Every structure is written in structure tokens, then in C-alpha cells.
Amino acid sequence: MTSGARTRDRSQDERTVRALLDAYGRTYAAEAGIRLRDTPQPLYRLLVLSCLLSARIRASTAVAAARALHDAGLRDARRMETATWQQRVDALGAGGYRRYDERTATQLGEGARLVLDRYGGDLRRMREAAGGDTEALRSLLREVPGIGPAGADIFLREAQAVWPQVAPYLDGKALQGAERLGLPADPAELSRLVGEGEHAPLAAALVRVSLDRRGADALRDGPRDVSGEGHTG
């Protein structure tokens, strides 16, 4: 392959990624109304959202349930843990999260207790405990009830917006989207196609397009309104 061909390929990849971000680049945290910052409450809300999204349920339902928990005042680990099981069930139900509401209400209570006991309700302490090792951090996340491999991946895909030390975090689900679009299926190569601070939107966009069978065609045909429905884990 000539240098010129490589340049043209890179240019095409950059155009594809820009169209991808324009169409799909809203993070799930933003959709859930979480103004993500490196502070305890938004990080905890992201953990809850990751738990909800990792179930086999529509992403829009998980997002609505996360909003309903927030509206019910269950915005941090302390409030989640002190709420009754029924209050958690009712909040999940208000968000339409009924198929898994009872099990999830239990997991949210147990998870909040673990976050309080080990990290004082502050997930930045979990990050510190991992010592800068992303795989160690992923393992610690999986110790939280309700956060399995998929939930840990969801959390890290979104948290890289405020935890740049884990970026680029592009897991198997995101790489499926890259392959669908003919983009490099390599995190390092993909990360070079976006600017600083765009890794979380890129990860979300790739996951959304991986869940939309018509997504790649839509990008070729031009912009359209998309929701990226499906199971995000």
C-alpha cells in the first residue's frame, strides 16, 4: 500500500468517525441526565446506570429508570442504602424497569452498602485502590453486586470522560461497532481518529451503532435521528 493510499484511508476513517459522532455520539450518562464530573455523586449515579444498562432490557428503559431513581432522591450511595427495598422497587417501576425490578432493588441496596463500607461512598477511592491499573479497576467494579463484566465495561466506557487515565477504553462491544463500519478494530488506532476528550462519546457511538443493524447504512446514506436501542453490555 502506498503512502498516499494510507493517507486516503486515514482521511476516510476520520470522516466516518465524524459522521458517527454526529449521529450517535451522545453518552448514556448524558442521556440519563448525569452531568458527569469526577465527584462522588455523579460517579455513583453512573455506577447505578451501568447496573441498569447491563440487564437484558432496552437501553431507553434503563435510562428512564436511572432518571426515576434520581427523581426519587436516590442519588448517592447513602440515600440508596437507607431507602427501603420497596422504595427502590417503586422508583424502578416508575421508570418502567419492571422485569428485573425486585432483583435489581436488592442489588442496588447491597451495592450501595459495599460502596459505603469500602470506599466511603466515593468511587474515586476505588480508582485509587486499583493503583492506575485498568484491569484491577475493572475487577473491583465487578465486586459490586449487580455489576458483572458488562456493567464494568459500561462504567469504564463512560467514566473515561472524567478518568482520562483509563482512556481509550473501547471494549469488545465498541469494537463490534468499529468492525461494522469498516474502522480499525484496535483501540489505539481508533483513539487517534478523535480529539482529546472524545473517547467516551466515541465508545458510546460505537456501541449504539453496533446495536442498530441499519446504523452503518444510515451513516453512508446521511445523518438521521437514532437512539441506539438494545442491550449495551
Q: Which of 110, 73, 67 is nearest to 92 (CA)?
A: 67
Give the Cα separation of 74 and 83 in Å (integer).
8
* Ranges of H-type helices in 130-168: 134-142, 149-159
Reading the block at residue 74, the C-alpha cell is 436516590
Give the three-state DSSP class for 4. helix
* pLDDT tens string 37-58: 999 999 999 999 999 999 989 9
* pLDDT tens string 57-94: 999 999 999 999 999 999 999 999 999 999 999 999 99
- Amino acid identity for residue 85 in this structure: W
Q: Which of 109, 94, 98, 93 is nearest to 48 (CA)?
A: 109
What pLDDT, on the 0 to 100 scale, is given for residue 99? Answer: 82
pLDDT of 224 over the 60 cut: no
* pLDDT tens string 89-112: 999 999 999 888 999 999 999 999
pLDDT of 182 over the 80 cut: yes
Give the Cα separation of 138 and 187 in Å (integer).
17
pLDDT of 21 over the 60 cut: yes
